[in-house]
Structure 1
Amino acid sequence: MGTSNCESRQTESWPKAQCEPDPEDVPKNLLVLRCARTKGGSDRESSRGCEGSHLVWLASCHGRCGRDTPRGACSRRRDGGQEGLKKTKIYQWVIFSFFIVGVVFIPIGAAALVASRGVVEIVQRYDDACLSTLLNNTAKEAYVQDVNTNKACSLTITVNKDMDAPVYVYYELDNFYQNHRRYVKSRSDTQLRGDNPSQSSIDSSCKPEAFLRGNTSFEINPCGLIAWSYFNDTYAMAVNGANVPITQTGIAWKSDREDKFGAYQPQNFNTVPELRGGAPIGGVDNSTNIVNQDEHFIVWMRVAALPHFRKLWGKIGQSLKKGDVITVDLQNLYNTYSFDGQKKLVLSTTSWLGGKNDFLGIAYLTVGSLSFFLCVVFLLVHLKNPRDLGDTRYLSWNRKNLGQASVRN
């Protein structure tokens, strides 16, 4: 009874001339979207379409709708009002997306982990071994700061697995916060490039290591805390009694050597033993080298993001065999005892991904496995409880009626 009234009113309010949907393009299950009973016999949402009717008809239109078409009669989207149809298929894309992520990430993670596990690495701590006779860090710090004490130290390392050339030599520092804001900002890039910044600029950028003993007549170049704390331990190696040269060139980035550091001699830089925090550049008088040729210094100036870091010191051009005995003669000069830090010597090979780093492979495997697991879960849920396109049982008023019926039963 209400149906005929609604159809007649719908025909009057929505002229065919204004909206001519193709019947073949309109899904039947989208024609009737709602049946509502309203007070006063009218529907507020579609009063122009079905006043006084118990049924509210909403049609999906593929054709063009005129400007005078009642609001809500036809979708104004260019997709022909099929938005509801598209959204119900999202589950397929979700399952497919998780599957693709799993298929791609798991092999990458496995390859990265295998490459990382193939890297041979030897790590030897030496800061405590070199001063093992001293009881505490206070005594060790005083020993290192004394310019008259002998800092020479010897380590013996046995190679436990074949290491193919080149073998990279790193020093590793623990509990050293190069990422501290004040430390990171304590440098003058203008000065490092070989330019001449003003005294005020140097003072603001590099204080407290801007001028020697605070005298503005003696500008420190390069200035700042990063340069002042330049790592100064040195290493020499012998394998089975034969000296092995360590290549110390080509360890810094080419862009750093050519663009960020200038070809000039340093001035007043770590020349006073009792005031310096690390090594000088070009000897104690700063006269035998220029800044962009000291690659150890350039490597040091690229600050680390974490308090546990490694920096490249050199390269060994020959392979090492299992059982080889390496004797390392080093100068234990750098003071890590004042901040309870550690110093380690690292010998390592590399892979196509670089050095040893299990995190990357584990991260890819974790994400890939989780994605594949979710793919299976969503697929099983869909197979167990499928939802057909346009199934009216899932409409809110039908679900409410079903719930009330189940309560009565």
Structure 2
Amino acid sequence: MADVKEERSNEPTYNPFTQQELPACKPLLVPKLVVITFMFIGTLFIPLGAICLQASSEVVEYTQRYDDLCVQGTSNADRETNLQALNGAGTNCQVSFQVTEKMKAPVFIYYELHNFYQNHRRYVKSRSDEQIRGDATGAMSSCEPKVYTGGEAKLEVSPCGLIAWSFFNDTYSLAMNGQNLPFTDKGIAWSSDRKEKFGNQPTLNFNDIPEYRGGGSISGPLNENEHFIVWMRTSALPTFRKLYGKIEQDVEAGSTITVDIDNRYNTYKFDGKKKLVLSTASWLGGKNDFLGIAYLTVGSICFIFGLVFLGLLCKYPRELGDVTLLSWNKAQKE
């Protein structure tokens, strides 16, 4: 008897939730409800898709690839050899954008990388969040394989890890119609990153080794270097854009924007590409037709299915509960 009482004491308290007796809605999918549902989704999604496509079409965007223009060579292997021969000094080149539509401020400046897998598990894990927050006792073992400098000294690196080590270090300066075009890099990183994830500690032994394929110099407190903060937020896809700056004035149609590039980042080693992007934004964000096309596609399919089911319902009406038209019932009678 004691065992039975102990076993019963472990039972959950009786209530409608534990016994799954809460009121529940169980709609019956009758033909009329199915038609109404499909027609409602189609009527809602098709206008939404048109609105999204309209917002995307209002975005003015110009893109220019430059990695193949800034270093001489017939292949990426040749370009990598020529770039490494400069011992980190990089090359200077220039690209131009002919603006055919007015670009309303702010105009965003992005760099775009191709074939760079920031989502690789080992790459994503190679960082120390404690260290970049300013915790001197933070664990650095997660930064492998970039924890120490090369050579015999084996000095600790701050910030450590592969993400910091491969920091993008190309730089740009802009001119419009021959006049300097100022832009700002303030406010390009998430405010939560600046305030909570990065501390005000300076870098340590980071700029002393020029052997990395990418990786730029970092100076000053980390929470003030927004280029670095943007880079540390890794991307999910191998082709991605990262915000470099913002032009806070309108760019009129017919203008020519010239960009002087200090090309140092070695994308040639992994057959990558580098592009520079100038873009405005709408209330929906940057230029991207995918959302609008997806809404239109789903809405159109639902609307067509709704019309088909409506036609079948009109041609073969039956009362609720009438099963005389079901094939299995006909087969039984036969």
TM-score (norm 1): 0.72
Q: Which runs of 5+ in 2 are unaligned?
A: 1-20
Corresponding position of 1:279 = 216
Aligned letter for 1:207? Answer: E
Greater C-alpha radius of gyration? 1
Alpha-carbon shift at residue 156 of structure 1 (Å): 2.0
Structure 1 gaps, min length 5:
1-76, 283-288, 405-409
Distance 2:241 2:83 in 1: 22
Does the CA contact (< 8 Å) of 1:121 and 1:347 recur in 2? yes
Aligned equivalents of 2:177, 2:309: Cα separation in 1: 61
Among 154, 164, 167, the residue aligned to 1:230:
167
Q: Secondary structure at the match of 1:113?
A: helix
**Which of 264, 270, 273 matches 2:207?**
270
SS of alignment partner, residue 199 of structure 2:
coil
Give yes or no for the alignment of 1:295 onto 2:214: no
Deviations along 1:115-145, one digit per CA (max 9) or x if unpaired, are 00110000000000112x3222122112222
CA distance in 2, matches of 1:95, 1:213: 69
Find the counterpart in structure 2 of residue 20 from structure 1: none
- Deviation of 1:330 after TM superposition, in Å, equals 1.0
Aligned counterpart in structure 1 of residue 148 of structure 2, from 208, 211, 224: 211
SS at match of 1:94: helix
Contact 2:213 2:266 in 1 (8 A): no
Instruction: Tell me how far apart the structure 2 counterparts of residues 358 and 397 of structure 1 sit (CA, whole Å).
Output: 47
CA change 1:397–1:329 in 2 (3 A) is closer
Residue identity matched to 1:126: Y
- Partner Cα separation in structure 2 for residue 136 and residue 368 of structure 1: 47
Partner of 2:129: 189
State the match for 1:22 in structure 2. none
3-state SS of the aligned residue for 1:262?
Answer: coil
> RMSD of aligned C-alpha atoms?
2.3
Distance in 2, matches of 1:100 and 1:398, equals 33
Instruction: Find 2:51's aligned residue among 104, 111, 119.
Output: 111
Change in CA separation of 1:281 and 1:397 when aligned onto 2, cut-off 3 Å? closer
1:202 aligns with one of 140, 146, 168: 140
Are 2:188 and 1:257 aligned?
no
Secondary structure of the equivalent of 1:123? strand
Conservation of the 8 A alpha-carbon contact between 1:227 and 1:301: yes
Aligned residue for 2:324?
A: 393
* Superposition pairs of residues 369-384 of structure 1, within 5 angstroms: 369-384=300-315
Distance change in 2, residues 1:258/1:399 (3 Å): same
- Residues 271-323 of structure 1, C-alpha deviation per residue, up to 9 Å, x if partnerless? 222346310111xxxxxx11010000000000011011000000111111222
- Does the C-alpha gap of structure 1 residues 322 and 383 become closer, same or farther in structure 2, counting only changes over 3 Å? same
Q: Say which is worse superposed, 294-303 or 368-377, in terms of deviation.
A: 368-377
Amino acid at match of 1:135: T
Q: Find the counterpart in structure 2 of residue 134 from structure 1.
A: 73
2:93 is the alignment partner of 1:161? no
Question: Is the alpha carbon distance of 1:159 and 1:250 closer, same or farther for their aligned partners in structure 2, counting shifts above 3 Å?
Answer: same
| TM-superposition CA deviations, 1:72-125 (whole Å, max 9, x none) | xxxxx9x9xxx9xx84x6222211111111111111111011100110000000
Measure how far apart 1:394 and its partner are.
4.3
Distance 1:276 1:136, change over 3 A: closer
Identical aligned pairs, as a percentage? Answer: 54
Which of 297, 300, 306 is residue 237 of structure 2 equivalent to? 306
Q: Residue 98 of structure 1 aligns with which residue?
A: 38
**2:158 counterpart residue number:** 221
Alpha-carbon offset, residue 255 of structure 1? 0.2
Return structure 1 stretches of 4+ with deviation > 4 angstroms: 214-217, 394-398
Q: Aligned to 2:93, what secondary structure does the other structure show?
A: strand
Query: How many angstroms does 1:150 deviate by?
Result: 5.2
Matched position secondary structure for 1:335:
coil
CA deviation vs aligned residue, 1:337-394 (integer Å, no higher than 9, x gap) = 0011000000000000010010011111111111111111111111111122343634
**3-state SS of the aligned residue for 1:101?**
helix
- 1:143 is aligned to 2:50: no
- Do 2:214 and 2:264's aligned partners in 1 also have CA atoms closer than 8 Å? no
Kindly state the Cα deviation for residue 401 of structure 1 after the two structures are TM-superposed. Answer: 5.4
Q: Secondary structure at the match of 1:380?
A: helix
Contact (CA 8 Å) 2:96, 2:258: kept in 1 or not? yes
Partner SS for 1:246: coil
Q: 1:281 to 1:387 in 2, by over 3 A?
A: same
Which residue, 276, 286, 289 being the options, matches 1:345? 276
8 Å CA contact 1:109, 1:362 repeated in 2: yes
Q: Is the 8 A contact 2:79 2:268 kept in 1?
A: yes
CA distance in 2, matches of 1:93, 1:265: 64
Q: Per-residue displacement from partner, 1:50-71 (whole Å, max 9, x unpaired)?
A: xxxxxxxxxxxxxxxxxxxxxx
Higher-RCO chain (CA-CA 8 Å, sequence separation at least 6): 2
Do the aligned residues in 2 keep the contact of 1:143 with 1:149 (CA within 8 Å)?
no
Match of residue 181, structure 2, among 237, 240, 244? 244
